[in-house]
Each structure stands twice: as C-alpha cells, then as structure tokens.
Amino acid sequence: MTAPKPITKPTASVRSRKGAPVIDLSKQNNSVAAEPTQHIQGRAPGTLGFLRGAFFGPPKTGKTVVATSGKDVLLVQFDPEGDITSPLQGRKDITVVEPKNYKEILDIVRALATVDKDTFKDVAVDSLTFLFQLLGGKDLVDVYMAGKDVRRAYGKAGAAAAYIISEMVKLDMNVYFTAHLKHEDGEDAVPQDTSLGEHEVRLAVTPMVWGTLGPAVSFIGRTYKRVIQEETAKGKWNNVTSYHVSFNDGERSPAGARIDLPAELEISTHTLADLDKQLHKGGAS
C-alpha cells in the first residue's frame, strides 16, 4: 500500500518588476491574527474631542479675531497684517509665529505634536490663502513669466498646503483655519452690493486644498459685519457695528456644521472659548 503524499501549503507570491526579488506572502507574519497586546480603548459615541473649524469672509469682518478667541492660542501667521487688529493687541494668551518656508511650518507642527503638546490649547492658521502663496507663489510667477505650463507648480503648492492641513488636524488641541474670499469673475459672477452686506461666498483656496479642508473640519463659519442704528438718550441715532459668524446662511456658501451649533454667534475675544466650554459641557456630537 502506497503511503499518501503529504499535503503541502501552496505558496502565494507577488510578481515584481524584472530583476527584483519575488515576495513570498506565505512567509510573512499575519499581524491581524496575532494575539492582542492590550484591550481596545475607545470613547462613548457623541462625546466631543477637539474642535476643528474654518472661518472665511470679507476683509475686516473678524476672521482672525474669532479664530484666536480660544485659550492659550498659537497663531500661525501668514497674513502680513492679520494680527494688527485692536482686539488682538495686548492679549497675553496669544503667541504669534511667522514661518517663512515649508520646513519651518513642518517644524512647528512637529513641536505641537511633541514638546509643545501641553503648551497650547488652540492653534489658529491665518490664512490658508496666504499659506498657498508662501508655498507656491514665487514658483507660479516664475513659471508663468517663462511662458511654461503652471499646472505642475500649482499642484505642488496645493499638495503641500493640503498635507499641512491634514497634519494639523491630527494634533491633540483645537485647530482653526481662516481663508479669504474668492472674487467671482465671468458669466457666473453675481453683482454684489457691499453696502447691503453682500459679498462673494466662496473660499479663496484651490480645489486640492478645499478637498482636504472640507472633510477635515467639523464646521465652517462665514464672518460678516452688521450695522444697525440705535437711538441715544438724547434722541439722536448712532450707527452701531457688530461682527458675527454664521453657520447657517441658507446654503448660499460652504458655511455649515456637522456638530450642534447655533445658527450664528457674535464675534468677541472669547467666542471659541465659550463655545468649547458649552459643547463639552453638553456632550454635543
């Protein structure tokens, strides 16, 4: 009687380019089947970790003020005039850094993830529009002036900005971005009456940057200025100006939120600090 042949385990291989070694998958460790080293640590659904948001709007409507209205704020400043507004001056809980190139930006992000992890509670990036210009503005101009195709330089700057956004939203702290408005041109342009508070409603960021920013944040707020008349005790009327951020403007713009927020908030130097306290106290989802 002939003994049965032993059953051999088939070999799974991956064919690679000519000259490169062939990888035998049957000899690789199956990490999924390995014994777990510790129990899974999770959280209850609906509990809020850190806030991720973006603000955009017309010039001088409070974008930087609201983005820095948290506590122990690091303002990563790309807008050359972003931190000169009077509400920011004199604040002792804001630290301003002005990175000059891509490496300096990455160094700041790495420090926030390690040595400065407990130094700041909020990070404000002001603004994504100027960040893109820093990363690719010069290259775009040089390529354009040379009469060459700008798409490669455009995509390179967009990819760098998108990577910075994706790394910042991983930080264990609140992170907020600002962006300027994109001016509408051509057939799709709608005449704007700025005296009535009408402005463009698109962010001045590239499609690649928007593709990263949109899913990365929990809310996008549109800032605007409101002017009303109030009667004084002497019977005269004075113009009173206030600044607001809207999270619900009738689907006219990307403004909106995936978390429970009021339709709008008045902008002050503690708007986000109050919002953060309110959301964590209420356990908003």
> Where do the structural domains in the chain lie, given as residue ranges?
48-282
Encoding tokens for residue 16?
């690679």
Total residues found in the chain within this entry: 285
Cβ density class 133-159: b for 16+ within 10 Å, e for less: bbbbeeebeebeeeeeeeeebbeebbb
Distance CA 198, CA 189 (A): 13
pTM > 0.95? no
CATH fold group of domain 48-282: Rossmann fold (3.40.50)
Q: pLDDT per residue over 9-60, tens digit each?
A: 555 555 555 555 665 655 556 556 667 778 888 878 877 789 999 999 888 8
Q: List alpha helices for 74-220, DSSP H.
A: 102-113, 128-145, 151-168, 207-216
Q: pLDDT per residue over 83-134, tens digit each?
A: 778 888 888 999 999 999 999 999 999 999 999 999 999 999 999 999 999 9
Encoding tokens for residue 168?
């910042």
- Contact by Cβ (8 Å): 229, 257: no
pLDDT at 191 over 50: no
What is the structure's pLDDT at 93? 92
Q: pLDDT per residue over 59-76, tens digit each?
A: 889 999 999 999 999 999
User: Which among 64, 45, 62, 69 is positioned nearest to 275, based on CA atoms?
Assistant: 69
- Mean of pLDDT values over 252-264: 88
